[in-house]
Amino acid sequence: MRVKGFTFYLLLLIGISSASAQSVENVVAEVLQNGKVVITYDLNGDPETERFNTSIYSSHNGYSSPLKNVSGDVSADYSVIPGSAKRIEWDAAAELGSFNGELAFEIRAEVYRFLRVTKPAPGKSVRRGSTATINWTGGQPSEKVKIELLKSGIPVNNLGEVNNSGSYNWSIPKETEKGKDYTLRFTGTSGSITSESFAVNAKFPLLLKIGLAVPVVIVVAVLLSKSSDDGGALPTPPDPE
């Protein structure tokens, strides 16, 4: 097929590589009359927890760099949502100029799994003035994660920006207001997520505080009987013999 000096002798689709096994399937390519190529594919994944980087490579340069004149479901910022019939349009004539020969393509996909807080668990509580462990999953190992404490959806404390290790020891300030409407907001490369709500309680339960504050007093009472014969002297104890 010849379009404006651009010739395909044969259009092939080969090797699909991905950071997530079997994420790209059913790849189909079509050459349009205007010198563009439309490539459709299915991207397997969980649309609720995953986003993808996708790029397309061609055999014209030995797959050494991705194609540039592309649009559609192709991204370098983890914005492609998994699903069927994803579409990429490549302006081959604009990128290659005159071309004669065969072309093969390779689609590469890299998955990003959203951050998800696993501890504190929903409905559980932590105590102010103590150290609590925060656990989470997802994200990219090399990214930094910003953690914020929210109350009723309003930020009240910035815990800091930490490595995406999946764990952080949180020193809870003693002056933190008690309440049941706290959440943690995590901000990473692909955006932010908010945990389920949990409670912040006093360092010690109220009953324990009361128990510690009340002294324990033991009173021993001794009853002394008065004798009418000796003027009140204590009786002589009996001889053990």
**Residue ranges per domain, the chain?**
2-113, 116-204
Whole-number Å distance between alpha carbons of 104 and 101: 10
Tell me what the mean pLDDT of segment 15-32 comes to. 69
How do residues 34-64 score in pLDDT, each as one tens digit?
878 899 999 999 998 888 999 999 888 889 9
Q: For domain 2-113, is the CATH number 2.60.40? A: yes
Whole-number Å distance between alpha carbons of 197 and 118: 12
- Asked whether the beta carbons of 225 and 208 are under 8 A apart, the reply is no
Residue 99 has pLDDT above 60, yes or no: yes
Tell me what the mean pLDDT of segment 188-212 comes to. 75
Per-residue burial over 147-180, b = 16 or more CB atoms within 10 Å of its CB, e = otherwise: bbbbbeeeeebebeeeebeeebebebeeebeeee
User: Considering the entire predicted model, what is its pTM?
Assistant: 0.61
Percentage above 70 pLDDT, the chain: 75
Candidates 2.60.40.10, 3.40.50.300, 3.40.190.10, 3.40.605.10; correct CATH number of 116-204?
2.60.40.10
Residue 190 has pLDDT above 70, yes or no: no
Domains 2-113 and 116-204 share a fold: yes
